A and B are shown apart, each in its own frame.
Chain A
Amino acid sequence: MNTLFEKLWDSHVIEQLDEESYLLAVDRIYLHDLCGTFAFQMMKENKKDIFRRENVYATPDHTLPSRKDQRKDACEISRLIMPKFREGCKRYGITLFDTGDSHQGIVHIIGPETGLSLPGMTIVCGDSHTCTHGAVGALAMGVGTSEVYHALATTCVIAKKPKTLKIEIKGRRKEDISAMDIILFIISQVGIDFGVGYAVEYTGEVVRHMNIDERCTLCNLTIELGAEYGMVSPDKTTLEYLRTREYAPSGDNWDAMKEYCGQIATTSESIFDREITFDISGISRQISWGVDPSQTVAVDGRVPEIVKGSSIAEKQSYEKAYAYMDLRAGQAMSEISVDYVFIGSCSNGRITYLKQIAELVRGKKVAEGVTAWIVPGSAQVKKTAEQMGIAEIFTKAGFSWGEPSCSLCVGSNGEMIPPGKRCVSTTNRNFIGRQGRGARTHLAAPYTAALAALNGRIV
């Protein structure tokens, strides 16, 4: 029997183009400021219009500074991009959740949060972390600008059919272990190209007990496994989450969607091309030490040494990481002091995590010499945190509280970590130069990042 992925794929095929390639129907297109602006440019140059504008939603995130005082015009990229982005949305009649709108936020946060991303949908966005939306049972793919343009003009996309990969997560999860720890642990075990050519579905008791925020984190980092798609089959949790969302269906449509979820869900009889199981009982909190997400160890671990029998490529990649991160093999992670802490992004800028760390931070202070930022992933997350009094806990402790944006994750909004400085970051990429030229990034869960802020070192 088919899996969720195959059922969604098959029901969206318009035509098979060759052995592996298919023309797929696209249900939802999201535009963000960076990719959307250049897609508009292509539309204009090619004199095309949008085929089904009611399926397209836009919001700025990549080029927006998160500092309130710099929001409007402090960033050169933003100054250049934002007017064109707004103009394009207006010209093509696309719904734009602009700055100040209660729906604005990082595109991968607001999709599930507003109920615009729904089970069974095909979703396209010009960002590799589009796989996040798979958390609600959608088939969501990140594409390049040419393909966004193509999708806008035709509501179709050409895609190669991947194989299916089941990642089962089982075992007893320790209380302080978050979805970020689990996915970093998995990537550290199998490497960043393990999923190339696969669509991943996360299953197992641990995933079943996760809320949608946590499932979003799992699916978000699926691209860091090399897989383009990450999904969780829709279940009771999915429906409960969506029921009150503004754009989710209501009345008869809700009942129809509920029934449809039952039809598309993966069952115990579904057959995957490949299956792998992880038992997370006993794993500790995780943190990356190197320059790709697989170079990750437990927070109470040490910078790994090059093991005997490593290939030349493995040796070189370790040496490159030691040098760039200014670490030595065997060094305890807990010896490493930090200059910056960033909590936010499409991986972890969600309310579940802010609530969790608020308890930890309450009444404490950010360590001297540490610059610590918390940037909520959306206007909704920000508002909720402020109403609950969480934001105040953070600011009293010395964290800076930002406006929703990609902020320190992406390096395209003027917010960057200075060269040589070390940042514990709840983002998804620790690649060389990702947070700024010479910036040293340690990926971690919000809880670990908050601990680092309070202690001035990795804890």
Chain B
Amino acid sequence: MLQTKVRYKVLEKLGDHIDTDVMTPGKYLTSYDPEYLGSICLCDLEPDFPSKMAQGGILIAGKNFGCGSSRETAPIALKAAGTKMVIAEEFARIFYRNALNIGLPCVICKKISENTDVKDELEVDLETGRIRNLTKGTIMEGTPIPEDLRAQLSAGGLMAYLKIKLEEGAEKEDEHSV
């Protein structure tokens, strides 16, 4: 059974065009260790980011979030720092795919920045994309996360998901052979 609704506080609000270089600068690319990447996440832009995110919550941002380099360390670092979900007005395409591949949910919502502040509590329905701002009592429409991707997310990323699928496939073949 897939979890479809999640509820978290907004812990950080960023502007437009936040690039992956500021998420994980080049000199830190020696490791894929999530803990390490989480500790340096956004260090040049928002040095307090890891401590702000530590309790686990939502990051909201403006247009073209995750533009630039295709480094997969960027979403890994955000997730490891405590980001449970990114809601942005728009995502750069490579970042969006990488984030879903490593199991960081991303929801596109054109009105998120103008209607949401840090500390607001949001309830997000991954299936419909509907976002309820429980603090302000408002509702916004975001993009749903496709079922396949929801399954990937609840499995913990593309690789974990493919592994489950392959195992299922193997079981089915076993059934046929009986």
Contact = CB atoms under 8 A, between A and B. Distances in A.
Nearest to B95: A144
Given A62-B29, A143-B94, A150-B158, 5 more contacts: A143-B70, A192-B17, A192-B64, A226-B64, A411-B26
Given A46-B159, A143-B70, A145-B72, A228 B21 contact: no
B63 interface: yes
A18 B21 contact: no
B97 A144 contact: yes
Contacts of A313: 15-16, 62-63, 113
Contact of A192 (B67, B102, B113): B67
Contacts of A77: 27, 29-30
A210 interface: no
Given A18-B146, A76-B30, A412-B29, A160 B93 contact: yes
Interface string B68-81: 11111000000000
Contact of A431 (B21, B29, B148, B162): B21
Nearest to A130: B70
A63 to B, nearest CB: 8
B93 A144 contact: no
A432 interface: yes
12 contacts: A17-B148, A62-B29, A126-B70, A128-B70, A128-B94, A143-B94, A143-B97, A149-B159, A160-B97, A226-B64, A429-B68, A431-B68
Interface string B10-46: 0000011101011001110110100000000000110
A146 B45 contact: no
A143 B96 CA distance: 11
Interface stretch (A34-42, A169-177, A443-451): A34-42
A196 B93 contact: yes
Interface of A: 17-18, 34-35, 38, 41-42, 46, 62, 76-77, 80-81, 126-128, 130, 142-147, 149-150, 160, 162, 192-193, 196-197, 223, 226, 228, 292, 313, 316-317, 410-412, 416, 429, 431-434, 436-437
A437 B25 contact: yes
Nearest to B45: A432
A162 B94 CA distance: 12
B15 A412 contact: no
Given A431-B19, A433-B44, A193 B64 contact: yes
B44 A144 contact: no
Contacts, number: 124
Most buried by B among A147, A193, A416: A193
A130 B26 CA distance: 18
B27 A42 contact: no
Closest 6 CB pairs of A and B: A411-B26, A144-B72, A144-B98, A412-B26, A193-B64, A433-B44
Nearest to B75: A144
Interface string B112-124: 0100000000000
A196 B98 contact: no
A196 B69 CA distance: 14
Nearest to A195: B93
Question: Interface range on chain B: under 10, 10 to 19, 20 to 34, or 35 or more?
Answer: 35 or more
Given A127-B70, A144-B70, A146-B102, A411 B94 contact: no
Contacts of B29: 34, 62, 77, 412
B92 interface: yes
B27 A411 contact: yes
B142 interface: no
B101 interface: yes
Given A193-B64, A196-B92, A228-B93, A146 B72 contact: yes
Interface string B133-149: 00000000000001010
B125 interface: no
A10 to B, nearest CB: 20
A432 B44 contact: yes
Which of B26, B27, B30, B113 has most A Cβ within 10 Å? B26
B57 interface: no
B70 A41 contact: no
A83 to B, nearest CB: 13
Given A142-B70, A144-B72, A416 B27 contact: yes
Interface in B82-128: 90, 92-94, 97-98, 101-102, 113
A24 to B, nearest CB: 13
Nearest to B25: A433
Contacts of B68: 128, 223, 429, 431
A411 B25 contact: yes
Contact of A146 (B62, B113, B159, B163): B159
Contacts of B146: 18
B157 interface: yes
Instruction: Report which residue of B45, B68, B98, B159 has the largest number of chain A beta carbons within 10 angstroms of its beta carbon.
Output: B68
B21 A433 contact: yes
Contacts of B67: 192-193, 226
B94 A142 contact: yes
B101 A412 contact: no
B41 to A, nearest CB: 13
B102 to A, nearest CB: 7
B17 A317 contact: yes
A292 B90 CA distance: 17
B157 A146 contact: yes
A412 B27 contact: yes
Given A143-B97, A192-B64, A410 B26 contact: yes
Nearest to B22: A432
